[in-house]
Chains A and B, each alone.
Chain A
Amino acid sequence: MADLHKFANPNRFVRIARAVLPWSNIVTALLLISGLYLALFNSPADYQHGQSVRIMYVHVPSAWMSMSIYSFLFVASLVALIWRHPLAHLAARAAAPIGAGFTLVTLVTGSLWGKPGWGTWWVWDARLTSVLVLFFLYLGHIALTHAHDNPERGAKAAAILAIVGFVNVPIIKYSVDWWNTLHQGASVIRADGPSIDGSMLTPLLLMSLAFTTYFVSVLLIRIQSEINARKIQALQLSQAAG
């Protein structure tokens, strides 16, 4: 873990974050512009969904983000509890609301797509229900980090929740294979290759990359502001003591 601890120094982290941030911002903007252009204006309508297939270009990348950010939360929580890395709790605390946001977008766009596609806004099948559980796990994590007067203890409780809740991630992924669901199976990450036409796969992947670099940008900003908040708190404490 010697390598990891190079980043343990908050000042060093802030230096690196400041160097990366302009680039991740630019890349996010470029990916988002090209991805949205292809998704909304320059990709074909689907043979059965028609124009409503365009909801997919926001729905599917959001769903992927909701699960990968939770995996990030899981890893950060493990690192925080086992190696006591000083930035890991901050990273988890910074990532959770972003993940909750992507999960909410997944649920809302899915509902909007479900009405024209399936004929219903919502059903309690295994896929939809497990994603709703993911949303509540994020909310629980956010609540726990703020529940204690002592932020250390709140972070520890939230980390345990994040680790326990991780069992839900493979359940979400495989729910459509293990049980009969209204939600269809995987189109992109599947054993026999994507079952989605190349002209639709390109905007989908561009949007996913855009959402990923967006996450990097917002995460860096949020961790920096968490570090600043801690510094201000320490200053206030030392002033009050002095």
Chain B
Amino acid sequence: MKPKRKRLYLALFGLSALAAAAFLVVTALDESLLYFYTPTQLAERGVATGVNFRLGGIVEEESVAQDGATTQFVITDRQATITVSFDGMLPDLFREGQGVIAEGTLNAQGVFAAHEVLAKHDETYMPKEVADALKEQGVWQEAAPVTQP
């Protein structure tokens, strides 16, 4: 075999071994690479009270209630919901129907006490006029699902 050919086969073999190794690592890390859990994933798994984790979903429409410095709202993934309470500054993009990620713990009442809230926006970009026109025509799709199943 010519050395050039030999090096080519060696490289191809190395690359397939590498791809297989990467696939195994990524599959093994699957769960631990989740940045947040959705309410459905949480309901399936169950988390003990007092354990710190992140919860992500959409702020349910007409669920936001302000009580002094404390904000209460409901995070939903359109299948399961969890009530969140947070006392702190909300990000600018926080609003109803918007994606959001909260970090905190579940308390004994089943309420998620958040100590940080981040806005998770979707990948749609358009001028305000276009968004308004879409809403007017009734073809507006509010906040696409936050995660893939």
Residues of A within 8 A of B (CB): 44-49, 53, 56, 78, 81-84, 116-120, 123-126, 163-164, 167, 171, 177-182, 184-187, 190, 195-197, 199-200
Contact = CB atoms under 8 A, between A and B. Distances in A.
A47 B7 contact: no
Contacts of B19: 167
Contact of A199 (B15, B22, B90, B127): B127
Contact of B11 (A53, A82, A184, A196): A82
Given A84-B4, A182-B120, 4 more contacts: A118-B119, A126-B35, A185-B123, A200-B126
A83 B18 CA distance: 20
A119 B92 contact: yes
A46 B18 contact: no
Contact of B126 (A120, A179, A185, A197): A197
Contact of A49 (B121, B132, B147): B121
Nearest to A160: B14
Given A81-B7, A119-B118, A171-B26, A187 B38 contact: no
Given A44-B129, A180-B37, A119 B18 contact: no
Question: Which of A47, A53, A124, A181 has most chain B Cβ within 10 Å?
Answer: A47
Nearest to B32: A179
Interface in B15-36: 15, 18-19, 22, 26, 30, 33-36
A179 B147 CA distance: 8
A47 B130 contact: yes
Contact of B130 (A184, A186, A197): A197
Given A118-B120, A180-B38, A82 B125 contact: no
A197 B22 CA distance: 36
Contacts of B14: 163
B119 A47 contact: no
A197 B127 contact: yes
A204 to B, nearest CB: 9
Contacts of A44: 127-129
B148 interface: yes
B80 interface: no
A120 B89 CA distance: 12
Contacts of A83: 4
A182 B91 CA distance: 14
A210 to B, nearest CB: 19
Contacts of A46: 125-128
Nearest to B127: A44
Contact of A196 (B56, B121, B126, B131): B126
Contacts of B43: none
